[in-house]
Amino acid sequence: MRRLRALLRDWHWSLPGFALLGLLVGLPALMALPLAFSHFDGLHAPRFAGLTNLARVGADPLFWTALGNSLKVALWSVPLRLLLALGLALLLHRPRRGAGLLRAAALAPSVTPDIAWALLWLWILNPLYGPVAWLLSGFGIAPDIWLTDPAAARRVLALISLWLIGELVVVLIAARKEIPQELYDLCAVEGASAWTVFRRLTLPMLMPVLLLLACRDAALSFQTSFLPALIITKGGPQYGTLLLPVYVYQNGFEYLRFGYAAALALAMFAVTLLMIAVQLFWLRRWTRRGA
């Protein structure tokens, strides 16, 4: 009982957030779970299908194509987002003139409605009258290469994800402020260079936070790439940007295969858990080595 009271005392500020998370995410997920084992088109009553939908997922070539595309986009976007967020955090953690405005500017895209910035990028990357096409045409570069080549289109989705690094920057700024200033003063007395201080002090101290953010970002990469893939590339070209969330959306809301879409969502959830489990395993192993 004492442990329960201590836990409630320490976590009572987080309980409303967990309650809302359970209401808005957990409850709908539990309600959608039975659909993965049924045939349901939204027009007729669900019919029990057993493991038919899950077996169909394993034999669906488009599912494996979407899974491969999603992993490739995550492989590009997660390291790029972490590197850019780390660089901005190291530049903005010190109190200086204009730092607060720059921090707000870094966070602003993360609180902008997703559809708004997706449409903005649709205009920016338009091969006919977008600003990027206008700039590249001046150098003799074909303005539609990023929309006609599958690999280039996936890299574009990864680059667009850099737009949403505000939360990463805030967390890394807070983590950088937790490093004792005395350690940096000691490095200055020893005459260590800036690169040595970063490599020997800053990066090792921030590494646990970076690894945890990598786990979080890998799980969120499916969500952050959903709207750009749906609105800008529409899953093309040649299924090059057909990602798992887009495939789930298409089956559920375009083809009215809600049961199969639920099975795809369940498979996507399992893949996400596997990605997080692998990263946490390496995080724990790295922590034990460091200890």
Least confident of 11-25, 126-140, 226-240: 11-25
Task: State which CATH number among 3.90.45.10, 2.160.20.60, 1.10.3720.10, 3.30.56.10 fits the domain covering 48-290.
Answer: 1.10.3720.10
What does the pLDDT look like over 74-86, one tens digit per residue?
Answer: 999 999 999 999 9
Cis amide linkage into residue 237, ω under 30° from 0: yes
Whole-number pLDDT of residue 10: 57
**Domain definitions of the chain by residue range:** 48-290
What does the pLDDT look like over 90-124, one tens digit per residue?
Answer: 888 887 777 778 777 777 777 778 788 888 888 88
Q: Which amino acid is at 229?
A: A
Instruction: Provide mean pLDDT across the span 214-226.
Output: 83
Handedness of CA 121, 254, 222, 75 (dihedral sign): negative
Could you tell me the pLDDT band of residue 211, with boundaries at 50, 70 and 90? confident
Q: Is 0.75 topped by the overall pTM?
A: yes
Burial 45-80 (b: 16+ CB within 10 A, else e): eeeebeeebbebbeebeebebbbebbbbbbebbbeb
Q: CA of 179: how far to CAs of 174, 187, 210, in Å?
A: 9, 13, 14
Please report, rounded to a whole number, the percentage of residues in the chain having pLDDT higher than 70.
91
The rounded mean pLDDT for the chain is: 83
Instruction: Provide mean pLDDT across the span 237-250.
Output: 90
